Amino acid sequence: MTELLKKHNAISVADLAFPPREGGYAKGHETREQILHAALQLLVDHGYRAMSMRRVAAACGMKLGNLTYHFPTREDLVRALLDAVIASYEVEFSAISQNPDQTPEHHLELYCELVLEDIRTKKTTRVFPELWSLTNHDPFVLDRVHELYARARAPLEAIIAKMRPDLDQSQCAALALFISASMEGMTIFAGYEKPFEPRMPALEAIATRAFIDIIRSIAAEDIPD
Amino acid sequence: MTELLKKHNAISVADLAFPPREGGYAKGHETREQILHAALQLLVDHGYRAMSMRRVAAACGMKLGNLTYHFPTREDLVRALLDAVIASYEVEFSAISQNPDQTPEHHLELYCELVLEDIRTKKTTRVFPELWSLTNHDPFVLDRVHELYARARAPLEAIIAKMRPDLDQSQCAALALFISASMEGMTIFAGYEKPFEPRMPALEAIATRAFIDIIRSIAAEDIPD
Amino acid sequence: MTELLKKHNAISVADLAFPPREGGYAKGHETREQILHAALQLLVDHGYRAMSMRRVAAACGMKLGNLTYHFPTREDLVRALLDAVIASYEVEFSAISQNPDQTPEHHLELYCELVLEDIRTKKTTRVFPELWSLTNHDPFVLDRVHELYARARAPLEAIIAKMRPDLDQSQCAALALFISASMEGMTIFAGYEKPFEPRMPALEAIATRAFIDIIRSIAAEDIPD
Amino acid sequence: MTELLKKHNAISVADLAFPPREGGYAKGHETREQILHAALQLLVDHGYRAMSMRRVAAACGMKLGNLTYHFPTREDLVRALLDAVIASYEVEFSAISQNPDQTPEHHLELYCELVLEDIRTKKTTRVFPELWSLTNHDPFVLDRVHELYARARAPLEAIIAKMRPDLDQSQCAALALFISASMEGMTIFAGYEKPFEPRMPALEAIATRAFIDIIRSIAAEDIPD
DNA sequence: AATGAATGAGCGTTCATTCAT
DNA sequence: TATGAATGAACGCTCATTCAT
């Protein structure tokens, strides 16, 4: 397996990030980690429906009774997994923010590159559509996911504000939202094993350029409130 | 219920399109119509998992046995619904294609307006994320959905080709793909009952302008193969 | 396919015998024939459970509704099939009875040969165990099957009576019963695709000889009432 | 209920034999015992089809969910029952083998007596025809059943070898097979509630004598390979 | 911390049967 | 004759959950 394949394909423990439960023993924490990892693996490989308590337990080589000890209800498990997944993405975004000594344009390019690269990973391609469908009927998931997106847009808004000091915060936010949404949309077309996966380089070139152009050229009064 | 609400909210029979079965009675066709409509309603209102054979039958005021008479397996029902939903969107796209006497720019604007308006409807906001998540593990759905997207991009490619006769077909296709993906991504952020639903006008303005700009300005050699 | 394989393997229309229903049209009779043939085929190939109304109809290229027109209930079908199957075996037995100019010993040998050859056919190996299991809980089947066996034993009893004029009818019947039961038992061990199918010649030699010996040698007073 | 009726009629826990599951509680083993017993009872009283998961659970006064906890699939249940039934018969056969100080003839007589007595029990009369019909379409059952028969023939082959030291192993096996098959066939005619149940004594007398005669008198060269 | 046992609800599917067309 | 439509019951199975051990 090449490095590239590994990068886009495999799910590793590092794909999840979560703090030890306060007051829990070390072993319990390890077990929780194992459970969440198995759950993510199932979610990625076989979809949300396959992430049942039984299958997660089986994937951990653990009995159902023990799983329910650590996560009494399925909702508990789902939310813990959501937290862990989101936390793992926040690690990524914090990396971008701390990129000093860059022109805003270059910073934006790096941002897009990183996001679009992530979109092509198996994990992101598989997890996010599941989350999107969940957001339609679960307000809790809706909140958490958009909280994540808000954090993801923060560095973007900062870049835009630097490029266009004449725009107000709401206008910068709208531009950042457009850019973020635009890239998310590519998941479906050029994500992992999607029909236009090989066209991602073209999409990235077009997108990056379109984003810089629109930020540079749009007039403040052309953005409705 | 206001016109606007109706437009974005309600599911009507017109949201589905499918041909009568050969050799069947009129009553049978009506029943199948009723079933597909109920299935779509459940999908939109409560998600894919809620679209169970039992609930669909109950929603039709029909016994389970009769549902399985018309759709012997759940897969049959799902595929028939997929066909009907896709057919209903194809009706929409055929309308766009036949827009003569327009500058390509204006034509593009109308196209974006129509797509983004559709994205805000309850039906589209709810159905497509379910489809996206299905495409991850069901190759049949993947095929059908991307067949639909291909048809949706066709008028877009024609417009781009008019605006940029110097670009080859593959380059036009890449631009169309970017535009289409970009708009699809907005479903999650500004679709029906999504957090940025009220910001759709801003997104539309930015997007439309960004799309026209990038088509106009990108150099042929800046689009990788 | 060799003659031998055909003989032991295939189900042909000739394997069923049944008279036209009185007052029925010719076409209806043909359809009934077709149905019964398909039912037998299913019974032989996939067992009694597979002989459902739906599968029989499908195997005939006919709709369920039409099958229920010809056989309103499953029991009707089962009993008609039972009749037809039994009638087809009676054709065979009548052939044996009319074997003049034979010593009783030779007649017995021919009888055993014919029965054991029949046992090795796919049809008999498959159908009779199903019938035997049905007889345990369906008195109607029990009656019909033992009626058939009674008819099958008739020529046997005649042969025995010729060989042992000193025995009374009940004693001859007991010997015939032993011989018949003995051969039926071989179905399970040396019938079609059974583990000892290739050992049938040895079984036949042993059985034939054992039968002749016991008839010849047993004392009347050694057969309890 | 007289002793005789009890002997031939009732199903008791002793009719099944199976080991406790490792790691399981005592209660769990009791439950599995109860389930297998109920399943056998249903099989004997109402046939294989009646042995459904629901009916077995109901017969145990247990919920379906708990039955599937102990036997996740119907196949698991069927195979466990098959194992337990077979194990119970093996207990019987081991008893026969250990019969010292007998002439082979007397030993054979005892063997036949025991088998034919067993055949008249409700359990054997009902269970074996179901097994025979299952062997036609389930290779697993075919294997298990013929494994049992092989074990049942072992003492028979030993007896025959003693009576006829001049015969080789294959010839002894053929004779044992004939005897075993011959007696099995009587199930259908003279088993529990079968039409010739009262004639079993006559059949036993004839059979025992015929078996001893054929073993004694057959020439080695009269048994084909 | 972990397993064993049990419940109750729901799933997709198959079936025999009835009746209108 | 034959098909289309509908019902009601049962099937094997999976599931989230609860609780005793």
Percent of chain D's residues with pLDDT above 90: 81
Average pLDDT, chain C: 90
D71 CA → E5 C1’, Å? 13
pLDDT per residue as tens digits for the range A47-100: 999 999 999 999 999 999 999 999 999 999 999 999 999 999 888 777 777 766
If one compares C143 and D97, the residue with the highest pLDDT of the two is C143
Residue C144: pLDDT over 90: yes
What would the mean pLDDT of B180-206 be, rounded to a whole number?
A: 98
Contact state of C177 with D196 under an 8 Å Cβ cutoff: yes
pLDDT per residue as tens digits for the range D177-186: 999 999 999 9
pLDDT score at A100: 67
Tell me how far apart the alpha carbons of residues B112 and A187 are, in angstroms, rounded to a whole number: 20
- Of A91-100, A133-142, B98-107, D103-112, which gets the smallest average pLDDT? A91-100
pLDDT score at A1: 38
Phi-psi region of D101 (alpha: psi -120 to 50; beta: other; left: phi over 0): left
Tell me how far apart the alpha carbons of residues A102 and B182 are, in angstroms, rounded to a whole number: 26
Interface check C181 vs D, CB under 8 A: yes
pLDDT score at C1: 38
If one compares C170 and D15, the residue with the highest pLDDT of the two is C170
Count of CB atoms within 10 A of residue D130's CB?
20
Q: How confident is the model at residue B90 (pLDDT cuts 50, 70, 90)?
A: confident
Which residues, 6+ apart, have CB-to-CB distance to D27 below 8 Å? none
What would the mean pLDDT of D141-157 be, rounded to a whole number?
A: 96
Show the DSSP H helices in B164-199 as ranges: 169-190
CA dihedral C67, C69, C74, C78 (to 10 degrees): -80
pLDDT tens string, chain A, 225 residues long: the values are: 344 444 555 565 556 665 555 555 566 788 999 999 999 999 999 999 999 999 999 999 999 999 999 999 999 999 999 999 999 988 877 777 776 668 999 999 999 999 999 999 999 999 999 999 999 999 999 999 999 999 999 999 999 999 999 999 999 999 999 999 999 999 999 999 999 999 999 999 999 999 999 999 999 999 998
Structure tokens at D77: 């249940």
Measure D156 CA to nearest chain C CA, in Å. 16
Residue C142: pLDDT over 60: yes
pLDDT score at C2: 43
Residue D99: pLDDT over 80: no
pLDDT score at D137: 96
What residue has token string 């043909």? C30
pLDDT score at C99: 67
CA B139 to centroid of chain Cα atoms: 18
pLDDT score at A96: 74
Residue window 201-220, chain B: list those with CB within 8 Å of chain A: 201-203, 205-207, 209-211, 213-214, 217-218
pLDDT score at A25: 58
pLDDT score at D203: 98
Q: Are B8 and B121 in contact (CB under 8 A)?
A: yes
Q: Are D190 and C189 in contact (CB under 8 A)?
A: no
Q: Are A108 and A159 in contact (CB under 8 A)?
A: yes
Chain D residues in contact with C189 by the CB 8 A cut-off are 146, 149, 177, 180-181, 184
What would the mean pLDDT of D35-52 be, rounded to a whole number?
A: 97
Residue window 129-158, chain D: list those with CB within 8 Å of chain C: 129-130, 132-133, 135-137, 142, 146, 149
Residue D110: pLDDT over 60: yes
Residue B70: pLDDT over 80: yes
Tell me how far apart the alpha carbons of residues C37 and C59 are, in angstroms, rounded to a whole number: 10
Q: Are A35 and A117 in contact (CB under 8 A)?
A: no
Cα distances from C103 to residues C100, C159, C160, in angstroms, run 9, 9, 11
Interface check C41 vs D, CB under 8 A: no
- Closest Cα to residue D125, out of D116, D134, D137? D116
What would the mean pLDDT of C136-143 be, rounded to a whole number?
A: 96
Chain C residues in contact with D189 by the CB 8 A cut-off are 146, 149, 177, 180-181, 184
- Closest Cα to residue C191, out of C112, C115, C96? C115
pLDDT per residue as tens digits for the range B120-176: 999 999 999 999 999 999 999 999 999 999 999 999 999 999 999 999 999 999 999
A91 CA → E4 C1’, Å? 41
Parse chain C into domains and list their residue ranges. 3-13+73-222
Measure C208 CA to nearest chain D CA, in Å. 10
Q: Are B200 and B186 in contact (CB under 8 A)?
A: yes
What would the mean pLDDT of C122-132 be, rounded to a whole number?
A: 98
Contact state of C135 with D129 under an 8 Å Cβ cutoff: yes
pLDDT score at A10: 57
B77 CA → E18 C1’, Å? 25
Tell me how far apart the alpha carbons of residues D146 and C199 are, in angstroms, rounded to a whole number: 15
Interface check B66 vs A, CB under 8 A: no
- Closest Cα to residue B190, out of B111, B110, B124? B124
Tell me how far apart the alpha carbons of residues B194 and B200 are, in angstroms, rounded to a whole number: 10
What would the mean pLDDT of D57-62 be, rounded to a whole number?
A: 98
Q: Are D147 and D83 in contact (CB under 8 A)?
A: no
- Closest Cα to residue A127, out of B137, B46, B179? B137
- Closest Cα to residue B186, out of B106, B140, B128, B138? B128
Contact state of D224 with C202 under an 8 Å Cβ cutoff: yes
In CATH, the number for domain C3-13+73-222 is: 1.10.357
pLDDT score at B100: 67
What would the mean pLDDT of D191-213 be, rounded to a whole number?
A: 98
Chain D residues in contact with C137 by the CB 8 A cut-off are 46-47
pLDDT per residue as tens digits for the range B31-58: 999 999 999 999 999 999 999 999 999 9
| Rg, chain A, Cα only | 19
Interface check A169 vs B, CB under 8 A: no
Identify the sign of the CA torsion A12, A16, A19, A24. Answer: negative
pLDDT per residue as tens digits for the range C59-78: 999 999 999 999 999 999 99
pLDDT score at D92: 79
Contact state of C211 with D210 under an 8 Å Cβ cutoff: yes
What would the mean pLDDT of D77-83 be, rounded to a whole number?
A: 97
Q: Which residue of D has its CA nearest to C182?
A: D182
pLDDT score at D142: 97
Residue D23: pLDDT over 50: yes
Residue window 14-33, chain A: list those with CB within 8 Å of chain B: none
Does residue B64 lie within 7 Å of nucleic acid chain F, judged by its CB? Answer: yes
Residue window 101-130, chain C: list those with CB within 8 Å of chain D: 125-126, 129-130
